């Protein structure tokens, strides 16, 4: 009798899994690699695999999540049209003739993402958390009208409390302070932790909050952006989140190597627009209305040309990844990549592989320790494949490498929040600055060289000598890489 019941349950489970797998194939219409990965999860983890899929695998409906009626009043839409027409007619007024070489990349971002090109920016690069946050707090203390601050991870530890003290003090002075954080990235905090800040006049919103403390149907779609805009005149974009580990105070990770940019110039307008769109999506009753004070006329601060490019699962195209691919395909001398996760999809992998096989100097730098074990071993596996194509791979040994940076030919570079993995390409909401400037790109390349001195080069001999256990970990992680 017991055997009969067990047989019936086994058959029912098998039929249910077949039904779920069929629904995944015919209803979701994913790409083949992620479809097979999820089918494996469903069959090897019966029933529970389905609940994992509900939490992590469901696709986000392609709809307009980010709306703001004030967008037209900023003038960005008209500027996009003018810039596209000028580029199409080869009449664009490039202030730096070298930028003209990348007019196809500029046009791609305009058409694909509505990312206007600004050419009057000053850029300060931070590769150390203490210097970055000291500068940020100093800028916060100088704010006169508003502070817009957004992070994927915001911890109320020593650093977080220091920033909140500065934000609360400005709110008490009458400065309008808005703080946006991601619910999953900052899962240890909630709005109740900001009572003093809210009493002072500050506002707090959460991106894609959970329905219940442990239930979030949009768990897999996170806002990974890090944006700060102060008075519409100073901005920050890059890889640092807010937490003591980003100051190198974590025993697990040690020194934290990241890259962040401080911006002044017209690039603040699209960066401000991105924050407002994200804020209004998260806000239930405190939407930001258009006001000219958010978009002041800024005096010329520099000569760096750049585009602020964002991407997310609500979009038809993978805008930041497309920009990465265009940069790689335009390389003539070298491609330097720093990323904590190197799990490329087939298009990115082929682009880098072909570049290396073509004689381009391809160098990839990854961490020496995992913050997510499966992700790390998948990264190690792909790094080994790149070695066979002729690329050089460096393992950063001076702590944890978290920077997301690509530099090409000392001419064009990108810094932001998007990693080299499917999660950043397809699932997360990301933002990057694409920079067309010899000085800034050379400075970023110099930082790469400095990091090489703190790294061990992974050779084919070292890679082939890895243990059987590491090979097993790589195989499992590689199999699951489309859904990591």
Q: CA-CA distance, 129 to 392, in Å (whole number)?
A: 27
Is 439 one of the annotated active-site residues of the chain?
no
Compute the radius of gyration of the chain from its Cα atoms: 23
Q: Is 244 exposed, middle or buried (0-12, 13-18, 19+ CB in 10 A)?
A: middle
**Annotated catalytic residue 226:** yes
The DSSP secondary-structure symbol of 420 reads B
DSSP 459: P
Is residue 294 helix, strand or coil? Answer: helix
252: annotated active-site residue = no
Give the pairing type, strands 334-338 and 405-408: antiparallel
Q: Which of 449, 472, 455, 350 is nearest to 393 (CA)?
A: 455
Residue-level length of the chain: 484
Task: For residue 260, indicate whether it is catalytic.
Answer: no
The catalytic residue among 278, 409, 410, 421 is 409
- 224, 260, 301, 426: the catalytic one is 224
Query: Cα torsion for 26, 30, 31, 36, to the nearest 10°?
Result: -70
Out of 148, 260, 301, 404, the active site residue is: 404
Asked if 308 and 315 touch (Cβ cutoff 8 Å), the reply is no
Q: Which residue has the tokens 């006169």?
A: 144
With tokens 């920079």, the residue in question is 435
Contact in structure between 196 and 206 (CB atoms under 8 Å): no
CA distance linking residue 258 with residue 401, whole number of Å: 6
Burial 62-92 (b: 16+ CB within 10 A, else e): eeebbebebbeebebeebbeebbeebeeeeb
Q: Rounded to an integer, what distance in angstroms lies between the CA atom of residue 382 and that of residue 202?
A: 45
Instruction: Give the whole-angstrom CA distance, residue 380 versus residue 119.
Output: 38
Which helix or strand (DSSP H or E) is residue 113 part of?
helix 103-113
Q: Of these residues, 128, 182, 183, 231, which one is catalytic?
A: 231
- Respond yes or no: is residue 301 known to be catalytic: no
Residue among 132, 146, 148, 226 flagged as catalytic:
226
Q: Is 231 annotated in the active site? A: yes
Helix (H) or strand (E) holding 335: strand 334-338
Question: Using CA atoms, how far apart are residues 61 and 348, in angstroms rounded to an integer?
Answer: 25
Q: Which residues pair with 124 in a beta bridge?
A: 262
* Active site amino acids: 224, 226, 231, 402, 404, 409
């Amino acid at each position: 009798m017991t055997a009969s019941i067990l047989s019936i349950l086994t058959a029912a489970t098998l039929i249910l899994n077949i039904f779920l797998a069929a629904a995944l194939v015919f209803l979701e219409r994913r790409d083949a690699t992620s479809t097979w990965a999820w089918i494996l999860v469903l069959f090897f983890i019966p029933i529970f695999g389905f609940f994992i899929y509900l939490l992590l695998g469901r696709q986000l409906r392609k709809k307009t999540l980010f709306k703001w009626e004030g967008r037209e009043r900023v003038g960005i839409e008209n500027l996009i049209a003018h810039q596209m027409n000028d580029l199409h007619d080869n009449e664009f007024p490039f202030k730096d003739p070298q930028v003209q070489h990348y007019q196809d990349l500029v046009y791609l971002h305009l058409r694909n993402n509505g990312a206007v090109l600004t050419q009057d920016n000053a850029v300060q690069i931070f590769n150390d958390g203490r210097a970055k946050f000291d500068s940020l707090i100093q800028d916060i203390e100088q704010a006169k009208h508003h502070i817009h601050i957004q992070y994927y991870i915001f911890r109320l530890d020593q650093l977080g409390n220091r920033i909140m003290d500065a934000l609360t003090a400005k709110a008490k002075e009458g400065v309008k302070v808005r703080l946006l954080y991601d619910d999953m990235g900052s899962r240890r905090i909630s709005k109740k932790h900001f009572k003093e800040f809210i009493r002072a006049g500050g506002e707090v919103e959460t991106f894609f909050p959970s329905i219940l403390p442990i239930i979030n149907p949009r768990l897999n779609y996170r806002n990974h952006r890090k944006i700060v805009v102060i008075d519409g005149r100073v901005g920050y974009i890059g890889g640092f989140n807010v937490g003591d580990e980003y100051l190198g105070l974590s025993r697990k990770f040690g020194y934290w190597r990241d890259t962040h940019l401080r911006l002044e110039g017209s690039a603040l307008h699209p960066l401000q627009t991105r924050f407002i769109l994200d804020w209004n999506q998260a806000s239930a009753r405190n939407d930001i209305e258009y006001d000219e004070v958010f978009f002041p006329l800024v005096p010329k601060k520099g000569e760096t040309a750049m585009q602020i490019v964002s991407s997310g699962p609500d979009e038809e195209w993978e805008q930041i990844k497309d920009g990465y691919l265009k940069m790689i395909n335009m390389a003539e001398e070298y491609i330097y990549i720093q990323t904590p996760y190197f799990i490329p999809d087939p298009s990115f992998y082929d682009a880098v592989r072909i570049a290396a096989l073509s004689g381009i100097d391809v160098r990839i730098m990854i961490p020496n320790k995992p913050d997510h074990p499966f992700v790390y071993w998948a990264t190690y596996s792909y790094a080994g494949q790149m070695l066979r194509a002729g690329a050089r791979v460096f393992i950063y040994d001076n702590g944890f490498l978290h920077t997301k940076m690509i530099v090409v030919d000392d001419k064009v570079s990108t810094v932001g929040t998007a990693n080299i993995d499917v999660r950043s390409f397809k699932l997360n909401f990301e933002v990057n600055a694409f920079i067309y400037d010899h000085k800034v790109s050379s400075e970023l390349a110099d930082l790469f060289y400095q990091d090489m001195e703190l790294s061990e080069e992974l050779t084919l001999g070292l890679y082939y000598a890895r243990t059987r256990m590491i090979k097993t970990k790589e195989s499992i992680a590689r199999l699951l890489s489309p859904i990591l």
